[in-house]
Every structure is written in C-alpha cells, then in structure tokens.
C-alpha cells in the first residue's frame, strides 16, 4: 500500500472549517484513500473514503486531487468534540489488503 | 446495533499471569481484526479472521500471543505468560467484507497493564 504523509498537528477555531491535508504521491489506481479519527481513549472511528471522486457524508468531505497524489479532509464546522488524531490511509482494493495506521495528524479545536 | 463489544475495559495483571481479552463483533460481519496500540509503535495489526478462520497472523509478536474465533460472534486474544512490555490498549474491529471499499468498526478497546 502507498505511504501517506501528514503534518504532525494543526489547530482551528471552533465553528470554522478544518482542512486536513494528506499526501500520497505513490498511490496506485486501485488504492482507496481512507480517513479515520481517534478521539482520546476511544477506538478509531471511520470517517470517509474515496477512490477518485470527491465524497461527502454527514461527518466530512473528502477532496481528492485529479492526479490522486493528495487529498484533503474537510470538517465544515469544527467543534471541540472534533479534537482527535486523524489518520489518512491508502489501501488497496484486494481482499487481503490491510488497514495500516501511521502517526496521523493531531487536530486541536480551540474555543 | 451495539457495535463491537470488548471486555474487559481495563485489565491489570502481574507478570507471568495469563490474560484473556474478549471481543464480540457486529452481527453479520465476516471479518474480525485484533490491533494493539502503544505510544512507541502506534496502532499495529496483530491478526485477522475471515469467517472464523485466521487468515494472517504475521503481526502476532510472539508465541506467547494466541487468538481464536470459535464462532461468528466471539473471539479471544490470549497472552500467556504476560510481560510488562505487553502493556498496551488492544482493539478489536470487524468489517462486513474486506478489500478497499469497506471500512472497519472498532471497539472501545481493552487497556492492559502488566506489572
């Protein structure tokens, strides 16, 4: 699976949009981009995933560049409860692909 | 749906003792995964099952670790004998299917402390 690169940390103000970047320059055509988050003392939580097209659900939006070498997770109106470690993961579509977590980015939402 | 259920939430044991962690996956999910999380190594996949059969145990650190899935609704991760370096949070996750288009649902984890 392709590697991902994320900043170590970032912060944003409550109520504003949080834009979390991720680089995956070696991504292959059959690899998905996944985002999970882990709030302190909880298990990782699935947020969203995509292959080529931009995706949106009730939690977030995922913007994937046309060349698929980078993506951005957007939390449109961040709240204090969105403070967490966010993991960007690239994963193959095959049956034996694993979900491998890196270090992620720590998002701190300030009041 | 109650989600993935793990027990106990916390476990403190003495070095050398046997420890058993338990997991109940989401009903209907065919895949079950065991992860371990430490500050030093982050989240590591230990083993995963498909339809109760172990598929990949390459992440299991040593022979002291073993995992079983006797039926579709229950799995255990056993450490015997336990050592202080096994102290970590152990997560169980389940998935409807495998492959790139399916996400995992994680449990709340078991925090293991070996003294």
- pLDDT of res. B23: 98
CA distance B79 to A39: 27
- pLDDT of res. B101: 64
Angle CA B109–B111–B113, to nearest 5: 160
As a whole number, the mean pLDDT across chain A is 93
Burial of A34 (0-12, 13-18, 19+ CB in 10 A): buried
Q: Which residues 34-53 on chain A approach chain B with CB closer than 8 angstroms?
A: 34, 36, 42-46, 49, 51
CA distance B101 to B82: 36
CB-based contact B108 A42, cutoff 8 Å: yes
Each residue's pLDDT tens digit, A92-107: 876 667 788 999 999 9
- pLDDT of res. B1: 65
CB-based contact B43 A34, cutoff 8 Å: no
- pLDDT of res. B2: 80
C-alpha pair distances (Å), A54 with each of A1, A22, A30, A70, B78: 21, 14, 16, 12, 42
CB-based contact B100 A46, cutoff 8 Å: no
Each residue's pLDDT tens digit, B75-102: 999 999 999 999 999 999 998 876 656 7
Please list the pLDDT of chain B residue by residue as tens digits (115 residues): 689 999 999 999 999 999 999 999 999 998 999 999 999 999 999 999 999 999 999 999 889 999 999 999 999 999 999 999 999 999 999 988 766 567 889 999 999 999 9
Q: Which segments of chain B are extended strands (E)?
A: 5-7, 10-13, 19-24, 31-38, 42-50, 53-56, 65-71, 74-79, 88-95, 105-106, 110-114
CA distance B55 to B102: 17
Residues of B in Cβ contact (< 8 Å) with A8? none
Partner residue facing A97 (CB), from B4, B100, B108: B100
Cβ neighbours for B16, distance < 8 A, ≥ 6 positions apart? B81, B82
A80 shares contact with chain B (CB less than 8 Å)? no
Residues of A in Cβ contact (< 8 Å) with B106? 43-45
Residues of chain A with pLDDT under 70: 1-2, 94-96
- pLDDT of res. B103: 81
């Amino acid at each position: 699976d392709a590697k991902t690169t994320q900043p170590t940390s970032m912060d944003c103000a409550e109520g504003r949009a949080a834009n979390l970047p991720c680089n995956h320059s070696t991504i292959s055509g059959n690899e998905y981009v996944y985002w999970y988050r882990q709030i302190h003392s909880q298990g990782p939580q699935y947020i969203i995933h995509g292959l080529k097209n931009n995706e949106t659900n009730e939690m977030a939006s995922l913007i994937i560049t046309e060349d698929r070498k980078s993506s951005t997770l957007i939390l449109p109106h961040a709240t204090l409860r969105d403070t967490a470690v966010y993991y960007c993961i690239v994963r193959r579509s095959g049956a034996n692909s694993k979900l491998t977590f890196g270090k992620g980015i720590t998002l701190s939402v300030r009041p | 749906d109650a989600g993935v259920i793990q027990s106990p939430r916390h476990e403190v044991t003495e070095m050398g003792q046997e420890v058993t962690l338990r997991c109940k996956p989401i009903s209907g999910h065919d895949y079950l995964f065991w992860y371990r999380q430490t500050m030093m190594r982050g989240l590591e996949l230990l083993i995963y099952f498909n339809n109760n059969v172990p598929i990949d145990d390459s992440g299991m650190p040593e022979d002291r670790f073993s995992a079983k899935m006797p039926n579709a609704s229950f799995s255990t991760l056993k450490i015997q004998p336990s050592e202080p370096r096994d102290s970590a949070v152990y997560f169980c996750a389940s998935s409807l299917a495998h492959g790139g288009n399916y996400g995992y649902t994680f449990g709340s984890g078991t925090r293991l402390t070996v003294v």
